[in-house]
Amino acid sequence: MKQFLEGSRAVAEIVKLCKPGVISAYPITPQTHIVEELAQMVANGELNAQFVNVESEHSAASVVLGAVATGVRAFTATSSQGLLYMAEVLFNISGLRLPLVLTCANRAISAPINIWNDQQDSVSLRDSGWIQFYAENIQEAADLHLLAYRLGEDKSIMLPAMVCMDGYTLTHGMETVDIPTQGEVDKFLPSYKPLYKLDPAEPLTMGLLADPDYYLETRFAIQETFKEVLKMIPKISEEFKNRFGRDYKDGLVEEYCTKDAEKVIVAMGSVCGTIKEVVDAQRAKGKKVGLLKIISYRPFPYAKVDDALKDIPRIAVLDKAVSLGAYAPLAVEIKATFFGKKKSPKLISSFIAGLGGRDITFESVKEIFTKLNRKEVNLEFIDLKPELLKEEYGV
Amino acid sequence: MEYNPLFKPGHTACVGCGQAVAARLVIEAAGSNTIVVNNTGCLEVFSTKYPETAWGVPWIHSLFENAAAVASGVEAALIYLGKSPPNGGMPPITPTADSANGGKAAKDTINVIAQGGDGGTADIGLQALSGMLERGHNILYCCYDNEAYENTGVQRSGLTPYATNTTTTPPGTKSIGNIRPKKPMPEIANAHGIAYVATASAGFPQDIQRKVKKAMSIKGPKYLQIHVPCPLGWRHGPELTLEVAKLAVETGLYPLIEYENGKLTAVRKIQPKPVEEYLKVQGRFKHLLNNPEEIKKIQAIADANIEKYNLKVKPGAT
């Protein structure tokens, strides 16, 4: 049913339909609306779940870890410092091969403390063994949760998944969202039947010590599984389309006006909506521009990206995160896609924008397209304030 | 009779490990219908080196500091599955006529034990433990207190006693060793208003098992801290483990106490022995033996315990 909902409410509605038995979270802006909504659903008896109010994100992640290990579907959400505080547990969850879904309401990292949006938090956890999806809009954020549960709990996968949605822009924005019925969701997402669980009827030991004779293979196994994830996402996306009518194609990337494009921006998350509008406006003027939206950042769909961009002469990669002291995180992947390839874009420029909630406007996007006319640039920051740099840093 | 212990021999603990003894006693008392969540530490390392395990019950290890939180999730999942009584809040701090009865666990309940060493409990895991106690989960938390980070090579923890020689509190010309007394963990746990807090000792095996069984009969969070000598870190012969544990109790340095609903309800009475008897059998206190001033301070700690908990056997009593 179509409803006009806040992003957080939409996520809460879809999570409710996924029937988690245990929810645990710790307050942090801008994630809190999601779990507040869920707490109310539990309080109203609309959702049969244990809602555990913990004393930290570290414990929130640990509680859901324990719940999934006991064979019960679980959910948590966080942002920014909260995600970093969970980091140790998140690596542990993937190492234990526990499927779990976490919403990351993307927010900048301190210092300086800043509650506004960028993607530094989740991008910093790209190596944690979690599947990572980035949503462009509220509908997509809601849908990706459903895909994430279905994917992670597949017996051939058994990995946790993080649905990343830009803080405020998507968590606090409102859109008309199509929320499926319980019956439709139940057909798409069967009840959670783990391969292994903590159960006195069949005692087993989880989380053992693996010495150098055994550890390496555990990491290899996850790496191999991510190949399966890459194959599984398009299949589940197809099934999703057939059942719910929304077509995310392969579910890995979205190609927007790329087929004959001369210039394409590669980006993740809500900024893709802004870029699409600029693309539409420029296309109307006859300019051959396009967008490649990355939905699945982990696993990274190198083959899809190669296929989508190899014939496009000029590429701009827009990162809403930095890897201080090195090339930008998304730019690294795009450049790696084409390293040593015969057919590749002539130019891959890398731009940083929107950190700490600085608006990425139509003008910012247009500027990036304009800058693609010049020679390749790396790590160019968009929308810097020269007067502030001079005043504060003497640059 | 088939011998199928819940904590099996063949693990890789050091000879004379007090923690291995206590962990076996705890799980045997709790029974097979129990899920164990273990912090990182000696016990986890020596009992679950892949591809072997000593555990005959479902057991999980996640991280150093989160056993109490993981166990909270296990318990929440069990409530969801109908295998643990719903969390209707813990018994009131001030006991009422109902609290003894209302606190009883359901018959088909699966027990949950969270456990760890003193560092994982009193230092890095204190926040998660406090959360677990405060939220009223139906979990027994067991702290195996060997008074240092033995697993990483005998470093000082918050439960290392005053003047102890550890690798990070070595005595020298300007130091007598660890400068602080033990963090009062039983009192900290008790201050959460939980229904049951107790201390025990590897030197008194029946007492450990009685306390575990008692804890399991009470709904809500329970805290049990067990003194477990570590021959490696304490530097005593492995054959002396139980002897050393007993001496800690008998000198008044490790009082065996029970709090129920916030009230001290039982203590193990002792005919106090001088603390030197305990100190002299351990290498970690060797540097104190020619230092009567320091021994006096340690005797004062024992005397304060004896007075605070009224540990002394009355003249003529046995």
Domains and CATH numbers, chain A: 2-244 (3.40.50.970), 253-393 (3.40.50.920)
For chain A, say whether B55 makes contact (Cβ under 8 Å): yes
Asked if B66 and A70 come within 8 Å (Cβ–Cβ), the reply is no
> Domain for residue B8, yes or no?
no
CB A170 within 8 A of CB A141: yes
> Looking at beta carbons, which residues of chain A come within 8 Å of B57?
200, 203
Looking at residue A395, its pLDDT comes to 80
Which residue of chain B comes nearest to A47, CA vs CA? B80
pLDDT band at B92 (very low <50, low <70, confident <90, very high): very low
For residue A197, give every residue at least 6 positions away whose Cβ sits within 8 Å of its Cβ, in sequence order, or none.
A69, A70, A71
Query: Which one of B7, B48, B50, B135 makes the best mutation probe of the A interface by having the most chain A beta carbons within 10 Å?
Result: B50
For residue A170, give every residue at least 6 positions away whose Cβ sits within 8 Å of its Cβ, in sequence order, or none.
A7, A105, A135, A137, A138, A141, A270
Mean pLDDT over the full length of chain B: 93
Asked if B66 and A64 come within 8 Å (Cβ–Cβ), the reply is no
Q: Report the alpha-carbon distance of residue B277 to residue B227 in Å, rounded.
A: 17
Q: How close is the nearest chain B Cα to the Cα of A331, in Å?
A: 34
For chain B, say whether A160 makes contact (Cβ under 8 Å): no
Q: How close is the nearest chain B Cα to the Cα of A362, in Å?
A: 46
> Looking at beta carbons, which residues of chain A come within 8 Å of B44?
209
Asked if B66 and A89 come within 8 Å (Cβ–Cβ), the reply is yes
CATH number at residue B304: 3.40.50.970
> Domain for residue B68, yes or no?
yes
Q: Report the alpha-carbon distance of residue B119 to residue B129 in Å, rounded.
A: 12
> Looking at beta carbons, which residues of chain A come within 8 Å of B38?
207
**Percentage of the residues of chain B whose pLDDT score is greater than 90:** 89
Q: How close is the nearest chain B Cα to the Cα of A205, in Å?
A: 5
> Looking at beta carbons, which residues of chain A come within 8 Å of B61?
206-208
> Looking at beta carbons, which residues of chain A come within 8 Å of B71?
66
Which residues partner with A102 through β-bridges? A76, A162
- pLDDT at A126 > cutoff 70: yes
As a whole number, mean pLDDT of residues B12-31 equals 98
For residue A109, give every residue at least 6 positions away whose Cβ sits within 8 Å of its Cβ, in sequence order, or none.
A80, A81, A84, A120, A121, A124
What's the token pair of residue B261?
């609903």
Query: Which one of A209, A216, A218 makes the best mutation probe of the B interface by having the most chain B beta carbons within 10 Å?
Result: A209
Looking at residue B88, its pLDDT comes to 57
Asked if B73 and A74 come within 8 Å (Cβ–Cβ), the reply is yes
Task: Specify the pTM.
Answer: 0.96
For chain A, say whether B260 makes contact (Cβ under 8 Å): no
pLDDT band at B90 (very low <50, low <70, confident <90, very high): very low
Closest CA to B19 of B169, B196, B168, B202: B202
Please state the domain count of chain B: 1
> Domain for residue B2, yes or no?
no
Q: How close is the nearest chain B Cα to the Cα of A210, in Å?
A: 5
Alpha carbon of residue B19 to chain centroid: 9
Question: What CA–CA distances, in Å, run from A146 to A12, A13, A141, B189?
Answer: 11, 11, 9, 41
Helix A57-69 with B126-135: angle, nearest 10 deg: 70
Q: 3-state DSSP call for residue A159?
A: coil
Of B51, B66, B77, the CB nearest to A22: B77
Q: How close is the nearest chain A Cα to the Cα of B275, in Å?
A: 39
* Residue-wise pLDDT tens digits, A138-188: 999 999 999 999 999 999 999 999 999 999 999 999 999 999 999 999 999
Residue A192 carries which DSSP code? Answer: P
> Domain for residue B245, yes or no?
yes
As a whole number, mean pLDDT of residues B44-54 equals 97
Looking at residue B156, its pLDDT comes to 98
Asked if B135 and A49 come within 8 Å (Cβ–Cβ), the reply is no
Residue B229 identity (one-letter amino acid): P
Diameter of chain B by CA atoms?
Answer: 61
Residue A100 identity (one-letter amino acid): L
Looking at residue A133, its pLDDT comes to 98
Residue B175 carries which DSSP code? Answer: B
Q: Report the alpha-carbon distance of residue A194 to residue A205 in Å, rounded.
A: 15
Query: Which one of B12, B34, B35, B60 makes the best mutation probe of the A interface by having the most chain A beta carbons within 10 Å?
Result: B60
Q: How close is the nearest chain A Cα to the Cα of B177, in Å?
A: 33
For chain A, say whether B74 makes contact (Cβ under 8 Å): yes
> Domain for residue B3, yes or no?
no
> Domain for residue B270, yes or no?
yes
CB A19 within 8 A of CB A73: yes
> Domain for residue B129, yes or no?
yes
Of B55, B62, B131, the CB nearest to A205: B55
Which residue of chain B comes nearest to A215, CA vs CA? B50
Looking at residue B315, its pLDDT comes to 76
Closest CA to A219 of A285, A127, A140: A127
What's the token pair of residue A327?
């090339």
For chain A, say whether B30 makes contact (Cβ under 8 Å): no
Q: How close is the nearest chain B Cα to the Cα of A226, in Å?
A: 22
Q: Report the alpha-carbon distance of residue A284 to residue A276 in Å, rounded.
A: 12
CB A42 within 8 A of CB A49: yes
CB B278 within 8 A of CB B248: yes
Looking at residue B317, its pLDDT comes to 60
For chain A, say whether B131 makes contact (Cβ under 8 Å): yes
As a whole number, mean pLDDT of residues A49-60 equals 98
**Percentage of the residues of chain A whose pLDDT score is greater than 90:** 98
> Domain for residue B284, yes or no?
yes
Asked if B59 and A199 come within 8 Å (Cβ–Cβ), the reply is no
pLDDT band at B107 (very low <50, low <70, confident <90, very high): low
- pLDDT at B87 > cutoff 80: no
* Residue-wise pLDDT tens digits, B249-300: 999 999 999 999 999 999 999 999 999 999 999 999 999 999 999 999 999 9
B:6-25 residues touching chain A, CB 8 A cutoff: none
For chain A, say whether B130 makes contact (Cβ under 8 Å): yes
Asked if A208 and B53 come within 8 Å (Cβ–Cβ), the reply is yes
As a whole number, mean pLDDT of residues A190-196 equals 95
Asked if A50 and B77 come within 8 Å (Cβ–Cβ), the reply is yes
For chain A, say whether B65 makes contact (Cβ under 8 Å): yes
Question: Which residues form the domain of B121?
Answer: 18-308
As a whole number, mean pLDDT of residues B10-36 equals 98
- pLDDT at B105 > cutoff 70: no
Please tell me the total number of residues recorded for chain B in this structure.
318
